[in-house]
Amino acid sequence: MKIKQRHKLNKESVVGTECICPSCGLSFIKEHYQQAFCKSKGGTVCKDKYWNTVTPTKRNNKTRISPASAAYMDMKKNISRNNYFKEMEDSMGYEWNDWSANDYHNK
């Protein structure tokens, strides 16, 4: 059965019905009315794989990184960087903002 047909059949099935995941082919019991994919691979792996396959613009995208995902990764990187500097400040006993570039060059 084609994956679009499997997805449509899963969406139309009632809660409690045994369905087959259109992405990975594993069977699962539908737990809520809008579920169409299994949860066996964790997160949204099967759902993402399905939509990246059936959506032509995503299927032709070689990077597979959405603008929202890129922005999220940048945010996580900046948070991690800020935590690093905060830990450095705590271990050294002063804040990075305690001195300026002029103070450094005048010494």
Number of domains present in the structure of the chain: 1
Per-residue pLDDT of the chain (107 residues; tens, 9 = 90+): 688 999 999 999 999 999 999 988 889 999 999 999 988 767 778 888 888 888 877 666 656 566 666 677 777 777 666 666 666 666 666 555 555 555 555 55
CB burial of residue 69 (10 Å; 0-12, 13-18, 19+): exposed
Structural domain includes residue 84:
no
Q: Angle at the Cα of 7 (from 45 to 23), degrees rounded to 5?
A: 35
Structural domain includes residue 29:
yes
| Full residue range of the structural domain in which residue 35 is found | 3-59
Structural domain includes residue 101:
no
Structural domain includes residue 70:
no
Q: Determine the pLDDT at residue 50.
A: 85
Whether pTM > 0.75 for this model: the answer is: no
